[in-house]
Amino acid sequence: MRKELYDVLKDPPESGVVNKDGILQFLKEEGMTGDNKTYKKLYDRLAPLYDAATLVYAFFRNGGEKKRLMQYLSALEIGAGNRVIEISIGTGRNIRHLRPDAVYYGVDISLPMLKECSKSIRKQKRDIFLMQAEAENLPIKDEIFDTVFSAGGFNFFNDKAKAVLEMLRIAKSGSKLLISDETEKVRDRFSKVPVAGGFYNHEKIKSPVEYIPSLCKDIEYKEVCDGELYALTFRKP
What confidence tens digit (pLDDT) does each residue in 51-102 have? 898 989 888 888 999 999 999 999 999 999 999 999 999 999 999 999 999 9
- pLDDT interval class at 193 (50, 70, 90): low
- Strand ordering across the sheet containing 83-87: 17-18, 24-25, 129-132, 103-108, 83-87, 147-151, 176-182, 229-235, 217-224
Specify burial of residue 94 (Cβ count, 10 A radius: 0-12, 13-18, 19+).
Answer: buried
Domain ranges, ordered by start, for the chain:
3-235
C-alpha–C-alpha distance, residues 128 and 234, integer Å? 25
- Residue 111's pLDDT is what? 96
Name residue 83's beta-bridge partners: 103
CA 208 to CA 40: how far, in whole Å?
Answer: 21
Handedness of CA 165, 171, 177, 182 (dihedral sign): negative
User: Please, which pLDDT band fits residue 196 given cuts at 50, 70 and 90?
Assistant: low
pTM assigned to the model: 0.91
Distance CA 179, CA 225 (A): 15
Q: Return the ∠ at Cα 10 (arms to 72 and 73), rounded to 5°.
A: 5
Low-confidence winner among 3-7, 11-15, 57-61, 165-169 (lowest mean pLDDT): 11-15
* Residue 232, H or E segment: strand 229-235
Mean pLDDT is lowest, of 3-17, 39-53, 101-115, 119-133, for 3-17
CATH label, 3-235, candidates 3.40.47.10, 3.30.70.20, 2.40.30.170, 3.40.50.150: 3.40.50.150
The DSSP output letter for 112 is: H
- The per-residue pLDDT for range 138-179, each reduced to its tens digit, is 999 999 999 999 999 999 999 999 999 999 999 999 999 999
